[in-house]
Copies of this chain bind each other. A is one copy, B any other.
Amino acid sequence: MDAAALRKLLEEVRAGACSPDEALRALQRLPFADLGYARVDHHRSLRQGLPEAVYGRGKTPAQCAGIVSELLSEPHGGPVLLTLVNDTQAGAAMAANPGGVRTGSTVVWRAAPPRPEQVLIITAGTADLPVADQCQATLEALGFKASLIADCGVAGIHRLIDVLDDLVGADAVIAVAGMEGALASVIGGLTGAPLIAVPTSVGYGAGLEGVTALLAMLASCAAGVVVVGIDNGFGAACAVARILGPAEEAPEPM
């Protein structure tokens, strides 16, 4: 609720079109629905241009289904995502809410219309694919063209150089890597595009379940590399949505 909307409300109060008590309720209750176990925020996509996402872990199948239903009940809402779900959660939510499309641990309803920006996801290894898949599914739900190039680890630097043309043409790049996470630094030196690094928990022993890659990406010698949490492909896609902004029309973002 920005200043303009607030002034309008106050002018209605002065004009008698709105009682103080009504205004009070309006001011105190920005729109969300209280399901008891969750307080569903109906205006986030208007406010931020980000998808409505339900984090599946730790929720019952019924809670997953219910929150998705509530979000879809908003007629002008944007994409709705259910992330990190298992089969039972996905099944319950998709049965209760037709039209969902599942990719790995992500289910998408009401994907946004396509938009022209190109996003490039590069992984260091084959085992990083589940995280990259989550990222790609989110980007596509938001309307972006998201291409994924797997297995470009820095120990075979020529495989990375081979995709230089794709790198140069991308509007944003997402580097997904576990183990020592060096991929982000090398890509950071090859392109000046927005670059988001996603550490993964791939690898074992000294990889410390992603902590090594996380620290290495944060300490990258390439300037301007930014980092999201371990295995957080969803977060990297949302960061792209922030960076590339709303599609054609986005009159007042908040």
- Chain A interface (Cβ < 8 Å from any Cβ of B): 1-3, 6-7, 10-11, 13-14, 16, 19-21, 23-24, 27-30, 32, 36-39, 41, 44, 47-50, 53, 55, 57-59, 63, 67, 124-127, 129-130, 150-159, 161-162, 164-165, 168, 179-182, 185-186, 188-196, 199, 201-208, 210-232, 234-235, 237-246, 253-254
Contact = CB atoms under 8 A, between A and B. Distances in A.
A189 B47 CA distance: 9
A167 B181 CA distance: 23
A239 B173 CA distance: 12
A75 to B, nearest CB: 20
A154 to B, nearest CB: 5
Contact of A238 (B2, B19, B223): B223
A3 B20 contact: no
For this chain, the copies found in one complex come to: 8
B156 A44 contact: yes
9 contacts: A2-B165, A67-B126, A154-B186, A157-B186, A180-B215, A180-B216, A190-B254, A218-B229, A223-B235
Nearest to A35: B151
Contacts of A28: 3, 6, 161-162, 164
Given A3-B165, A32-B159, A185 B193 contact: no
A243 B194 contact: yes
A105 to B, nearest CB: 12
A94 to B, nearest CB: 19
Given A218-B206, A224-B50, A154 B254 contact: no
Given A39-B151, A206-B214, A206-B230, 16 more contacts: A2-B168, A6-B28, A7-B20, A41-B159, A49-B192, A55-B125, A154-B182, A179-B221, A180-B185, A180-B215, A180-B221, A182-B216, A206-B215, A224-B235, A224-B239, A226-B239
A29 B162 contact: yes
